[in-house]
């Protein structure tokens, strides 16, 4: 009896009110020529995203191949949606993918290359290592660098972009972590816990097409303050 081989990648996509972009994101992820499963977790969307995902699942479309869709009953936040997706993942490597077209799935190959070569357990895709990116939101980038610097001081890692969406993990490493944050606190929490495990961490340059708040960007200054608290909490108290 042949046992089906697990996919190389599990791409976990948390979605909240991204009706305008989610179908295009699925097309771009599906087009990446790597064996994969695509795990979408709708986080209580109210703008028609849920209905669109249900429609895609019903259709005989190429997008359905390898696609799993889960629905959170209410909006709980990106971190909560990611935890659900991580529980369902079966790939050798797990990649986080936002649903807003800011990140390009064509970067997957370079993102997983250090893991494939057994150089890394975790890889961060950095927006600040020279890849092409849209120019906007100076103060947002300043805050990002300050928070990343503080994270580095507390974890003794020398990352350039802790708050990047693109993170790739060996699945056993990721599923060994006890993650608690429901919103964007996932980023500092997972970084502190990866450092505590003494994982081999790499960074690679990625492209970035950032959005403005008018275009739907969700993270804000309150998340930055909470991120500071998460760094202290998970480094010293948890």
- For 93-139, the pLDDT digits (tens) are 999 999 999 999 999 999 999 999 999 999 999 998 876 666 666 77
Rounded to an integer, what distance in angstroms lies between the CA atom of residue 35 and that of residue 30?
10
**What is the rounded radius of gyration, in angstroms, for the C-alpha atoms of the chain?**
17
* Residue 142 CB burial class (10 angstroms; 0-12, 13-18, ≥19): exposed
Whether the per-residue pLDDT at 219 is higher than 90: the answer is: no
How many distinct helices (H) and strands (E) make up the chain? 8, 7
Rounded to an integer, what distance in angstroms lies between the CA atom of residue 67 and that of residue 123?
24
**DSSP 8-state code for residue 234:** I
Whether the per-residue pLDDT at 233 is higher than 60: the answer is: yes
What mean pLDDT is predicted for residues 80-85? 97
Task: Please name each of the domains of the chain with its CATH number.
Answer: 9-237 (3.90.550.10)
Contact 132/143 with Cβ under 8 angstroms?
A: no
* Residue 65: both structure tokens together: 């191949």
User: What pTM was computed for the model?
Assistant: 0.90
The b-or-e profile of 166-198 (16+ CB within 10 A means b, else e) is bbbbbbebbeebebbbbbbbbbbbbbbbbbeee
> Which of residues 143 and 204 earns the better pLDDT score?
204
Cβ neighbours around 108 below 10 Å, total:
24
Cβ neighbours around 51 below 10 Å, total:
12
Mean pLDDT computed over every residue of the chain: 90
Among 19-33, 110-124, 216-230, the least confident range: 216-230
* Residue 54: both structure tokens together: 């249900």
**DSSP 8-state code for residue 133:** B
* Residue 159: both structure tokens together: 């990352």
Rounded to an integer, what distance in angstroms lies between the CA atom of residue 37 and that of residue 39?
6
* Residue 7: both structure tokens together: 């996919």
Note the pLDDT of residue 3: 46
pLDDT digits (tens, 9 = 90+) for 173-215: 999 999 999 988 999 999 999 999 999 999 999 999 875 655 5
């Amino acid at each position: 009896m042949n046992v089906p081989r697990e996919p190389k990648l599990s791409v976990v996509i948390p979605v909240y009110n991204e009706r305008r972009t989610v179908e295009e994101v699925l097309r771009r992820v599906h087009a990446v020529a790597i064996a994969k499963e695509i795990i979408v977790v709708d986080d209580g969307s109210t703008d028609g995203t849920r209905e669109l995902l249900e429609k895609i699942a019903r259709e005989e479309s190429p997008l359905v191949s390898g696609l799993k869709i889960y629905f959170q009953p209410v909006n709980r936040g990106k971190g909560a949606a990611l935890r659900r997706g991580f529980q369902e993942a079966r790939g050798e490597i797990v990649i986080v993918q936002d649903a807003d077209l800011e990140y390009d799935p064509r970067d997957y190959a370079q993102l997983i290359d250090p893991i494939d070569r057994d150089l890394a357990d975790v890889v961060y895709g950095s927006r600040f290592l020279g890849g092409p990116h849209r120019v906007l939101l100076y103060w947002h980038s300043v805050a990002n660098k300050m928070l990343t610097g503080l994270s580095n001081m507390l974890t003794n890692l020398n990352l350039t972009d802790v708050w990047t969406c693109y993170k790739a993990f060996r699945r056993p490493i990721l599923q060994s972590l006890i993650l608690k944050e429901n919103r964007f606190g996932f980023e500092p929490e997972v970084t502190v816990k990866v450092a505590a495990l003494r994982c081999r961490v790499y960074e690679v340059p990625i492209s970035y097409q950032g959005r403005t708040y008018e275009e739907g960007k969700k993270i804000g200054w309150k998340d930055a303050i909470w991120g500071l608290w998460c760094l202290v909490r998970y480094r010293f108290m948890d």
